[in-house]
Structure 1
Amino acid sequence: MKIKYLGHASFHIEIDGIHLIVDPFISANELAKDVNIDSLKADYILITHGHQDHVLDVEAIAKNNPDTTLVSNYEIIEWFGQKGLSGHPLNHGGKVSFDFGTVKYVNAVHSSVLPDGAYGGNPGGFIVTAGSKCIYIAGDTAVTMDMKLIPEMGHQLDLAIFPVGDNFTMGYEDAALASDFVKCDKVMGCHYDTFPPIEIDKVKAKAYFASKGKELLLLDIGDSILI
């Protein structure tokens, strides 16, 4: 599984030649100006919630990849369905099998409204399992006790992707606590530095994780890791 950071909370995940895009907010992100959305491959687009900084480029990427399948909650899939895009709706606690593995939709504590003001359903996160690999994409959220259920349900995570920018989501201190809850000491941070309220001291954030015996990955936009 190859995971590339596209800025903010956006990722490209490649699993055995199948391409997933997560929460695409690229074209309006000055920090991601070197990412060309027209070149992105997408067999699936995973959407955690309806805020513009997570759905902005869904339509453009989907139109460049006409066979793509959107995966999100029922309300978001219905909203994009009215725009002619196809998707698979989930609700909290549900999972679905695709050709690359399984996706389970889990709780997040945040808000959700679509760019035109339409109801965006309840926000969530995703547990993506492909073969022996399992990652947790938390979406925009506070740290929650529900996270303790993830290992209780048998998910042994290779990576947790957490927002660390504070203000609109949990900060890196709470993300370190969340990593305890999900029993995963390898964390990739997202949702930081895009706007002034979520700028962080990256050196301090990494040092805080290290003091807890954990690793915080803060990738440069365009960089990738393999798990």
Structure 2
Amino acid sequence: MKLIFHGHSCFELVLSTGQVLIFDPFITGNPQSDLTLPHHVDAIFVSHGHAHHVGDMIELSIANQAPIIAVTELANYAEAHGAIAYPMNLGGSASLPFGFVKLMHAQHSSSLTLNGQTHYVGDACGFLIRAEGKTVFYAGDTSNFGDMGLFGKAFDIDVAVLPIGGRFTMGPSEAAMCATRLQAKTVIPVHYNTYDTIRQDPKDLQAKLPTGVVQVLKSGETFNL
């Protein structure tokens, strides 16, 4: 299995079978993205309803006949716009063709602006994926909160993908505390430097955790699990 970063919070897990799982597919309009459409995916995970996370989910789903895995309200929105949806909810889990999925709590808002009006599209979430003997936790947009310690006790987390942008999510200091609570073997920072409002130096996170734990990826770079 390999993890490929595509800028902002978008990344893919590519399995040994060739299956491609994409997370928060912000491609069009993403100044960091190395991807262009059309693009092959087998499943689409969307953590919440902000434009720079929802991104191209509907176009990708329709083009690839790939399910969008998301909280019920967001999944229903996607289905109403022609996508294939696989609705779940916080704390729920499922065994899918590529492995085990569990929706994890996150602390963040979730809405979409349509025709100038803001619409609630369910709670924000994170995803825990277990496939090919590895466990990946994508926290989504969130703060550091106490239950991260429970996640770390309940799951042997190989890779935690954590936001560090500050202002709208955790910053580097909070992400370091979160990583410690999760007991993650490897931490990959995301959701920073896309815009001036989330300008951060990932070295600040590296300095707060043991050497080698934090893997900083540029857009298009790969981490092998």
Shorter-normalised TM range: over 0.9
Letter in 2 for 1:175: A
Please tell me whether the aligned partners of residues 157 and 185 of structure 2 are also in contact (alpha carbons under 8 angstroms).
no
State the distance in 1 between where 2:56 and 2:191 align.
16
CA-CA distance at 1:36 after TM superposition: 1.3
Q: Deviations over 1:114-146 (max 9, x none)?
A: 232221111010000003100100000000111
List alignment gaps of at least 5 residues for structure 2: none
Letter in 1 for 2:113: P
Corresponding position: 1:156 with 2:156: yes
Q: How many residues align?
A: 221
| Counterparts in 2 of 1:113 and 1:92: CA distance versus 1, 3 Å | same
Secondary structure of 1:48's match? coil
Letter in 1 for 2:11: F
CA-CA distance at 1:214 after TM superposition: 5.8
Please tell me whether the aligned partners of residues 189 and 216 of structure 1 are also in contact (alpha carbons under 8 angstroms).
yes
| Counterparts in 2 of 1:214 and 1:167: CA distance versus 1, 3 Å | farther
State the distance in 2 between where 1:63 and 1:137 align.
24
Secondary structure of 1:37's match? coil
Partner of 1:54: 53
Partner of 2:87: 89
Find 1:115's aligned residue among 113, 135, 160.
113
CA-CA distance at 1:63 after TM superposition: 2.6
State the distance in 2 between where 1:205 and 1:226 align.
21
State the distance in 1 between where 2:220 and 2:119 align.
32
CA-CA distance at 1:29 after TM superposition: 1.4
1:93-104 aligned within 5 A: 93-104=91-102
Partner of 1:105: 103
Please tell me whether the aligned partners of residues 50 and 115 of structure 1 are also in contact (alpha carbons under 8 angstroms).
no
Letter in 2 for 1:113: S
Q: What is the TM-score when the length of structure 2 is the normalising length?
A: 0.93
Q: What is the TM-score when the length of structure 1 is the normalising length?
A: 0.93
Partner of 1:31: 32
Partner of 1:190: 190
CA-CA distance at 1:201 after TM superposition: 2.0
**More helix by percentage:** 1
List alignment gaps of at least 5 residues for structure 1: none
Corresponding position: 1:21 with 2:19: no
State the distance in 2 between where 1:152 and 1:208 align.
21
State the distance in 2 between where 1:8 and 1:20 align.
16
CA-CA distance at 1:60 after TM superposition: 2.0
State the distance in 2 between where 1:130 and 1:194 align.
30
Alpha-carbon RMSD across the aligned residues, in angstroms, is: 1.4
State the distance in 2 between where 1:57 and 1:115 align.
15
Q: Deviations over 1:135-178 (max 9, x none)?
A: 1000000001111121332x101100000111110011111100
